Amino acid sequence: MFVNNNHPTERCVLVMDVGNTSIKWALFLKNDIIWRGRDHEIDDHAFEVHAVYFASVRDDSNNLLLLEEVGKRYPNANVLDLKVSAVACGVENAYSEPHRLGIDRWLGVLYVHSQYQGTVVVVDAGTAVKIDVVNSDGRHLGGYIAPSSDMMEKIVGLEYRADPIFRSGYDKYV
Ligand SMILES: Nc1ncnc2c1ncn2[C@@H]1O[C@H](COP(=O)(O)OP(=O)(O)OP(=O)(O)O)[C@@H](O)[C@H]1O
Ligand SMILES: CC(C)(CO)[C@@H](O)C(=O)NCCC(=O)O
């Protein structure tokens, strides 16, 4: 995710990437990330935050609770609830109903297009795996959503098998 250069960059911006499994936090000062964390790791810090960029794929009721909590924690911060649009940062959304695209996918595509001029495939591995394509003209060509290997194992019950060959998990391969 990236912070819009039009924002007053002398100040700290806290970016929240709210996924299905976890919340990822990144604290920006100017264009640098000065701290990052996951879920409750933020509780150990009393950052002075001037703006919060909130990007969530969760449902409205969950988002309301989270935004309420953010408002309490950072009462002086300007909170921006980021939404998907038809066009942004020189990229045209492939969806005829733009709001149906996940904000995580949209921000990934916007960031990648701002960094690379050619046609790019964006792969985002989380609870789900998202694959999106954006071409050099800034046209988002759409993409795919697939279950992660963890999710597939749960769906088909592989975690109950004894033979480890059926088990995946990226921690075994690093
Ligand atoms: N680089 C990786 N390779 C494989 N699995 C990963 C990787 N990073 C995270 N995971 C797995 O993805 C799952 C969730 O990760 P993460 O918290 O990033 O997703 P999320 O943002 O909540 O999901 P989503 O964006 O799909 O809603 C965890 O089960 C984690 O083990
Ligand atoms: C698929 C998830 C939940 C993955 O985080 C997210 O990208 C989302 O809510 N997408 C909406 C559906 C779509 O992008 O087509």
Q: Is the CB of 136 under 6 A from ligand 1?
A: no
Q: Which CATH superfamily is domain 87-149 in?
A: ATPase, nucleotide binding domain (3.30.420.40)
Examine domains 12-81 and 87-149 and report if their fold is the same.
Answer: yes
Residues belonging to the active site = 104
CA distance 140 to 113: 9
Give burial (CB, 10 Å; 0-12/13-18/19+) of 134.
buried
Q: Is the CB of 128 under 6 A from ligand 2?
A: yes
Pocket-testing residue among 63, 127, 130, ligand 1, by greatest number of atoms within 8 A of Cβ: 127
Q: Residue 104 corresponds to which tokens in the numbers above?
A: 């995580």
**What is the pLDDT, as a whole number, of residue 149?**
86
Q: Is the CB of 154 under 6 A from ligand 1?
A: no
Question: 12-81, what's its fold?
Answer: Nucleotidyltransferase; domain 5 (3.30.420)
Q: Examine the pLDDT at 164 and tell me if it is beyond 70.
A: no
Q: Of 8-12, 63-67, 80-84, 127-131, which gets the smallest average pLDDT?
A: 8-12
Using the mean position of ligand 2's atoms as its centre, give its distance from the Cα of residue 80 in Å. Answer: 20
User: What is the ipTM, given to two decimal places?
Assistant: 0.86
Domain ranges for the chain: 12-81, 87-149
Say what the pTM is. 0.85
Give burial (CB, 10 Å; 0-12/13-18/19+) of 55.
buried
Using the mean position of ligand 1's atoms as its centre, give its distance from the Cα of residue 24 in Å. Answer: 11
Q: Is the CB of 170 under 6 A from ligand 1?
A: yes
pLDDT band at 154 (very low <50, low <70, confident <90, very high): confident
